[in-house]
Amino acid sequence: MAVRTLISADAEALRTHSRADFVYESLRDAISDGRIAVGERVREEEVARNLGVSRTPVREALRRLQLRGLLVVFAGRGLVVAKLSQQQIVELYAMREILEGSAARFAAQHATAPEIAVLYRLQEKLKAAKGEATRISLNRQFHQAIYEAAHNRYLMQTLDSLNDSFALLRSSTLRTPNRRPGSDGERLRIIAAIERRDPELAEKAAREHIRQSQDTRFTSAAGFAAPLQKSRSKQSGAGARA
């Protein structure tokens, strides 16, 4: 089974994480990169054995994964990796657009000069990055840096939960060959708006960045155009208030 590819906890991992956090992040990442497939059963005892931890932190991590919708109970099989419906993916992106826009707006109001400098450094690294895995990691760091610059703990908690759900989408739009130049420009526009202390422009740039990301994903999957447009129509009023 794919769960066998999980990496056992080492001393450093357990110094910087609780055991439950370590198990949770290991399983979430394994779901995200496809080592644990959609519909595959996740067994408590097997996870504990392969990660080298007791069953107690595994049990806690599995509960968290279930609460966040990454695992579901399947009759006769126990906990399995969830599969998002077309409508769930549309809803996920709609919420991400609103929340990422809000994070950028707050960052334009509250970011410190060092935090803005971090955003520029991460973008420079992203532009120069060669490997796909490196780009994906740096992109996550970039968005996380905006959340931190927003200085709103409740927004950060909500975004962390939402972004964990994106593990079920598995592939990143950064893997799309023609996406990279556009995403570089979009990130620079977000940073520039934050640096200028322009909340409205920062929110607009961040929301456009997410829309372009979802368009890239949806254009490669037949049947998404209609629900995408319907979702955007429903969210237009909310966007004006975000």
Residue 37 belongs to domain with CATH number: 1.10.10.10
Angle formed at CA 230 by CA 193 and CA 65, multiple of 5 degrees? 75
Does one domain contain both 65 and 174? no
Does one domain contain both 154 and 196? yes
Neighbours of 131 (CB within 10 A): 8
Question: Facing residues of 187 across strands?
Answer: none
Does one domain contain both 76 and 99? no
Q: How far is Cα 17 from Cα 36, in angstroms, rounded to an integer?
A: 22
Does one domain contain both 74 and 145? no
Work out the percent of the chain whose per-residue pLDDT is above 90: 61
Query: Domain total for the chain?
Result: 2
| Segments forming the whole domain that contains residue 23 | 2-81
Among residues 58, 81, 104, the one where a domain terminates is 81
Q: How far is CA 225 from CA 137, 221, 229, in A?
A: 29, 9, 6
Does one domain contain both 186 and 116? yes
Does one domain contain both 106 and 209? yes
Q: What is the pLDDT of residues 106-143, one digit of tens each?
A: 999 999 999 999 999 999 999 998 887 888 889 999 99
Among residues 34, 64, 81, the one where a domain terminates is 81
Residue 189 belongs to domain with CATH number: 1.20.120.530
Among residues 81, 114, 142, the one where a domain terminates is 81
Does one domain contain both 69 and 154? no
Global pTM value: 0.77
Q: How far is Cα 159 from Cα 53, in angstroms, rounded to an integer?
A: 28
97 touches 211 (CB < 8 A): yes
Does one domain contain both 90 and 128? yes
Angle formed at CA 75 by CA 73 and CA 79, multiple of 5 degrees? 30
Does one domain contain both 102 and 143? yes
Does one domain contain both 233 and 122? yes
pLDDT of 235 > 80? The answer is: no
Does one domain contain both 54 and 135? no
Q: What is the pLDDT of residues 168-221, one digit of tens each?
A: 986 656 556 666 668 899 999 999 999 999 999 999 999 999 999 888 887 765
Does one domain contain both 237 and 145? yes
Structure-block tokens of residue 96: 């991400």
